[in-house]
Amino acid sequence: MEKFYVTTPIYYVTAKPHIGHAFATIVADVLARWNRLLGKDVFFLVGTDEHGTKIEKAAREAGKTPKEFVDEVANTYIEAWRTLNISFDKFIRTTDEEHEKAVSEFTRLVWDNKDIYKGVYEGWYCVPDETFIADFEVKEGKCPECGRDVQRIKEDAYFFALSSYKEDLLKIFDENPEFVKPAARSNEILNRLKGEIRDLDITRKSVKWGIPFQLDKEQTVYVWFDALINYISALGWPNESKFTEFWPADVHVVGKEITWFHAAIWPAMLLSADIDLPKTILSHGWWTVDGKKMSKSLGNVVNPIEISKKYSVDALRYFLIKEKSIWEDGDFSEKELVSRINGELLADLGNLVARTLTLAEKFKGKIEGKQEIEDKLNMNKIKELFESYDVNSALNEIWTFVRSVNKYINDTEPWKLTGARLGAVLNNSLEALRIISILLSPFIPSTSDSIQTQLGIKLGSIDDCKFGTFNGKVKRGTNLFNKITV
């Protein structure tokens, strides 16, 4: 059986999940569910990043030990993904014993390859982002990413020889221009690689909340060097067969702000350890509020659980994928969410299901007849869009088909028909709904389940997305969506 391995970032547990975390995780979930429909053996990884200075500080301020603090916040992520119907196969935490062992073994391999050396780090450090920053990147003492104050530090440290992999990394981008998607983000990384590449400080002497560095027990492993290894430690690397089965990852879903770590540092680490590289880095845009990146300090964080309870999980899932291109930034708006519920989910899909099933329940004749709308379904295009990980465009293409079925019903006016002609129109409409329920199941799985229940069928595979004679047993249930009044 063909394999598919998809990962989200492992989120830093200084705060509860927000809408940006939910977006990346739902994108990955859509890809996982789609590939299961293709009949692949899927492994879908999520998790949390739990070491570093920022965690120490947050735990201290909360009056907890670091472990008590991370346990509490990690649970909010687990519950959030369960609430949002995320079909993950494993939730990894960087405080897991299996992960810590893998980090130590990985470090030993890189050391044996002579890619780790001792030196002195002096430079700027952003505590909130857990990121070392070059002098030229610091503007007026501020981090170029988050805009907060940076610290000047000097201490003994161990370095990873990232600069020695510059030519290898350039070759990767030259030979595989789609290693990073989209192209604009790939070009950003490529341009950075063509400039000066500094070796990476991979230990901290002043940080105690971290994985001990096996070569010097006075040091702990830098949080990013630790965190990236989760993608293989979750598969039981180096000992378990699951690693051999699923690695390399087909796609790492990451935010654009951490693309450099995944597209340059992570490949260099893997090259040093003689491990295959992931196939694709999918770098998505941000969700903003009033044009500003969500931030706890700005007080503009959108809680996905509260939104899903107010409207519904599937409404939120649909909105996040449909509202913007996966590659670009988009502004979150409850007003636009309500508009999509009332306009697309209710008026397009809900109305299509309700009126088709109402007619079908009353009809006593044979539901059969020639296919009349199969040419409105462009399965090849949908598949191609999924293969390029463009889930927003794939959903738009599916919705084009939803609207074409509505138009078919409007044009044929089945409420005026009887006998064999009505049976044929119903057959086309019910078969279209059956196919729609399959195609929408990665995006709005609960709604898809409800459609299948009302059709009296079970979820099929992508191979079943072709028209035939409807053989379900229709029983209309409650409305899929109800009008939201503001």
Residue 461: what pLDDT?
Answer: 97
- Collapse the DSSP code of 204 into the 3-class scheme (helix H, G, I; strand E, B; otherwise coil) and give the result: strand
- Collapse the DSSP code of 44 into the 3-class scheme (helix H, G, I; strand E, B; otherwise coil) and give the result: strand
Residue 130: what pLDDT?
Answer: 67
Domains, the chain: 333-464 (1.10.730.10)
Give the Cα separation of 234 and 254 in Å (integer): 17
| Distant-in-sequence contacts of 469-478, Cβ < 8 A, 24+ apart | 469/367, 469/368, 469/427, 469/431, 470/367, 470/368, 470/426, 470/427, 470/430, 470/431, 470/434, 472/430, 472/434, 474/357, 474/360, 474/361, 474/430, 475/361, 476/354, 476/357, 476/358, 476/361, 477/450, 477/453
Name the DSSP letter for residue 62: T
The answer to whether the pTM exceeds 0.75 is yes
Encode the chain (486 residues) as per-residue pLDDT tens digits. Answer: 999 999 999 999 988 899 999 999 999 999 999 999 999 999 999 999 999 888 998 899 999 999 999 999 999 999 999 999 999 999 999 999 999 999 999 999 999 999 999 999 887 888 777 676 767 778 878 887 677 888 888 889 999 999 999 999 999 999 999 999 999 999 999 999 999 999 999 998 888 999 999 899 899 999 899 999 999 999 999 988 999 999 999 999 999 999 999 999 999 999 999 999 999 999 999 998 877 777 666 678 899 999 999 999 999 999 999 999 999 999 999 999 999 999 999 999 999 999 999 999 999 999 999 999 999 999 999 999 999 999 999 999 999 999 999 999 999 999 999 999 999 999 999 999 999 999 999 999 999 999 999 999 999 999 999 999 999 999 999 999 999 997
Distance of alpha carbon 286 from the chain centroid:
12
- pLDDT digit string (tens) for 372-398? 999 999 999 999 999 999 999 999 999
- pLDDT digit string (tens) for 53-64? 889 988 999 999
Give the Cα separation of 257 and 12 in Å (integer): 14
Residue 9: what pLDDT?
Answer: 97
Q: At what angle do helices 313-322 and 445-455 cross, to 10 degrees?
A: 120
Q: At what angle do helices 445-455 and 351-362 cross, to 10 degrees?
A: 10
Residue 297: what pLDDT?
Answer: 63
Residue 117: what pLDDT?
Answer: 97
